[in-house]
Chain A
């Protein structure tokens, strides 16, 4: 009996070792875009390094890495939110990449100071308004959303959304948690409806006259503008964009980013892939296909991003939001932001 088992195990082991190519890199990704996979294929063609991919919910991927511990097959973690990368680093799941190339391409604001993670692309969390009902000069900052003039007119999604949590962390960093809570309570009072739906639905609700202004991620506006549904494209054309806080700290920016896992077994390949993704060619593909801002300064923006114009970005380094991320949930809850 035990002989049979050991033969069986031997076969399994042989099978496993045969199917493992010598050069590969394993990615757990919270981004689900075809453009990413196209780039991975090209990376394989150029370098001969095979890219293995699991795409899933970011939080659960982080949890999987945590549970797998030292045996985790993952080399790289890709997320669509800076907060998740910070959380992964704090949980001890990442290690520094130590690449001078990465440091030279990515501005300090958008990478971990020790190289645990770096941004790949940028998205701005902006204010969207109805072009004929609202004078954009009436609202120039996130803080203005607290004004009672907007009572019953603000649309925004749930506080469980990562983009809202990271935005709140940036507001706590700028104003302190007491003022942030006062602000959040005022915004809750001004809401046109209790939070529901996704970012796109907030924009549609403006045009449907359920409210007048909404807090939205630029990425989703890009999606609306390029929607296969004509009615959705029309909706996107009826609203205007305000980049908040241009006279002060600048507009809140979130990143899609990538980090090297603590127990990576293909470290060299992994760093090589990160450098490839930050190169001009890959950056161009990402921003053209995914409606995101390139993180690399030298890369030209796609046309529709240019039409929204240049703007000042929040100068706080994203890794400094770390102490405020969990706090943002407490603030949201105390303010009654569902």
Chain B
């Protein structure tokens, strides 16, 4: 049996020998390393279920599945409409305020989703400034809900969508910016109006980017625990935690996590399959963004209204609440060693974002140059860490790290753990967690570069490495900057992994905010959350200026 298997492997290797080189081997090992924490928890799926598992399967899992599907559908539709709509308007048209909108639309990303949830609940609850104002000035009894009950499924869909649409906006926008004008000119010359062009030409063309963005938003929905728990919605993820900690059945929790990953993997593969052999590359050098059309006044007004809604609900209102709370708890600004926290947060974010971008670039480029199904599959698996709760990823990363530490100890090199509980462990965990963010941005960008470009470069004598450096990277600048920005901000607000894997006496901004929020002291969490937003503001602004400049430079 084993001999036959070995024989098969060697035969297969021989057949694919032109694919066996340092690129494929290196990237295969990297994807394996990133997938390892996810693979170690999957075998639990095959073990027989305990009493707890059976109890959950019949009593709870149907509810989890239903709620999760409703939540994903709602957030999927809303982030699609808002993300693509705003990206299209900002890229294609000129209207008052466009420049500000183009970077302000990213800002909701800098507020952790669960903090947005707390802020919205605080904005619409009995003791909010709004309700107090109504009671004092209109002598009415506001009761529990003046407008609507935010702690509900529609409330959760709304808050999550407004917090997550920037993923779709950013990736789609980086894609549209480099879209060739030719197809649109053809579409117009064939008699389609702007709407027709949008629906029949732009949308199908931007598919890889839209899918990349929406799937990030949906994975974020799947891994969210803080917000849904506070809003009283039992999702698959709250189920994982219930199994793990309320029933103290780790096996059942890992089983649920395994099925969650399998579900996401199947969705991703199904999309791939459905996309089939369609390619999205173009080769013309004229880009849409170089000739934005000025909108007529009434159309401009409509555009501004459409863009203002996500900006208002996703950023201005939660940010306003953070300001309001911070004003009440000012004294906390002085005794929290914020400089230290900012330094820790920035260093981690910078290191993690750089690491993820470089590795995602390598993976995307290698799977493109050497289309081996094994590497492609592992590339997809290595992105699944974004879809499951951070606490589960943490367990997954600890398994190989502890194994490594035990090897060190058994070699008598040391008597204590050298890797677990250090920065190295944290960065590894971030890599596992945020690979999807980097990979989705960069891979969707690569789809735009025709493979014949690479082939031309190679036939002109450039090595594979130089093709990457001189052909792909210059054309991928937008996608790489987008990926860096997304990962940077994600790490800045990252909570579950940092919380449980960090070294002693090490805090970040997100942790400081959480410590108060988890203690039901949201107002006291205000200052730290505010500093997260302001810290995220700087890279958002700088990097966006950089992207805008590049576009204008070329004209």
Contact = CB atoms under 8 A, between A and B. Distances in A.
B405 interface: yes
Contacts of B523: 227-229
B232 A52 contact: no
B520 A198 contact: yes
A144 to B, nearest CB: 24
A56 B405 contact: no
**Considering residues B232, B329, B409, which has the most beta carbons from chain A within 10 angstroms of its beta carbon?**
B232
A170 interface: no
B150 to A, nearest CB: 10
A73 B421 contact: yes
A333 B55 CA distance: 9
Interface string A179-214: 000000000000000111111110011011110000
Contacts of B230: 196-198
Contact of A160 (B143, B229, B502, B521): B229
A28 B143 CA distance: 42
Contacts of B466: none
B417 A73 contact: yes
A21 B193 CA distance: 73
Interface stretch (A59-67, A280-288, A295-303, A313-321): A59-67
Contacts of B464: none
A209 B143 contact: yes
Contacts of A32: 515-516, 518-519
A13 B414 contact: yes
A132 B445 CA distance: 64
Nearest to B501: A64
B342 to A, nearest CB: 19
Contacts of A64: 398, 500
Contact of B505 (A53, A199, A235): A53
Contacts of A106: none
Nearest to B136: A231
Interface in B234-292: 234, 238, 241-242, 244-248, 250
Given A194-B232, A338-B232, A329 B241 contact: no
B13 to A, nearest CB: 27
A57 B417 contact: no
Given A68-B402, A204-B126, A338-B234, A223 B418 contact: no
B127 A16 contact: no
Q: Please tell me the size bucket of the interface on B.
A: 35 or more
B151 A196 contact: yes
A247 B247 CA distance: 33
B127 A68 contact: no
Given A52-B504, A201-B125, A223-B521, A9 B413 contact: yes
A337 to B, nearest CB: 12
A194 B151 CA distance: 10
B246 A160 contact: yes
Contacts of B518: 32, 57
Given A67-B402, A333-B59, A209 B141 contact: yes
Interface residues of A, number: 57
Contact of B499 (A60, A68, A158, A326): A60
- The SS class assigned to the A binding surface is helix
A54 interface: yes
A12 B418 contact: yes
Interface in B382-440: 391, 394-395, 398-399, 402, 405-406, 409, 413-414, 416-418, 420-421
Contacts of B521: 223
Contacts of B127: 204, 229, 231-232, 234-235
Nearest to B406: A71
Contact of B232 (A197, A220, A231, A235): A197
A330 interface: yes
A55 interface: yes
B524 A228 contact: yes
A60 B240 CA distance: 13
A261 interface: no
Nearest to B234: A338
A195 B238 CA distance: 14
A205 B145 CA distance: 10
Given A13-B413, A228-B328, A205 B505 contact: no
B521 to A, nearest CB: 6
Contacts of A33: 519
A338 B233 CA distance: 9
Nearest to A236: B127
Interface string A142-160: 0000000000000000111
B231 interface: yes
Contact of A223 (B60, B126, B328, B520): B520
Contacts of B132: 231
A60 B500 contact: yes
Nearest to B244: A59
B245 A59 contact: yes
Contacts of B329: 228
B142 interface: yes
Interface in B466-514: 496, 499-500, 502-506, 511
Contact of A326 (B144, B248, B515, B520): B248
B101 to A, nearest CB: 33
A26 interface: yes
A84 to B, nearest CB: 9
B157 interface: no
Contacts of A26: 504
Given A205-B144, A223-B521, A67 B242 contact: no
A196 B117 CA distance: 13
A219 B16 CA distance: 66
A146 to B, nearest CB: 22
A245 interface: no
A223 to B, nearest CB: 6
Nearest to B247: A329
A290 to B, nearest CB: 10
A197 B499 contact: no
A61 B500 contact: yes
Contacts of B524: 228
A158 B126 contact: no
A235 to B, nearest CB: 6
Contacts of A141: none
Contacts of A13: 413-414
B121 interface: yes
A194 B496 CA distance: 27
A208 B398 contact: no
Given A63-B395, A208-B142, A228-B329, A326 B418 contact: no
A87 interface: yes
A118 interface: no
A71 B409 contact: yes
A207 B505 contact: no
A165 interface: yes
30 contacts: A13-B413, A13-B414, A16-B414, A53-B504, A53-B505, A54-B503, A54-B504, A54-B506, A55-B511, A56-B500, A64-B500, A71-B402, A71-B406, A196-B231, A197-B232, A200-B520, A201-B125, A208-B144, A223-B521, A227-B523, A228-B328, A228-B329, A228-B523, A229-B523, A231-B132, A329-B246, A329-B247, A330-B55, A333-B55, A333-B60
Given A67-B398, A209-B143, A231-B131, 18 more contacts: A13-B414, A53-B505, A59-B245, A64-B500, A67-B402, A68-B417, A71-B409, A71-B416, A73-B421, A197-B121, A197-B230, A205-B126, A209-B144, A210-B143, A223-B520, A228-B328, A329-B246, A338-B232
Interface of A: 9, 12-13, 16, 26, 32-33, 52-57, 59-61, 63-64, 67-69, 71, 73, 87, 158-160, 165, 194-201, 204-205, 207-210, 220, 223, 227-229, 231-232, 234-235, 326, 329-330, 333-334, 338
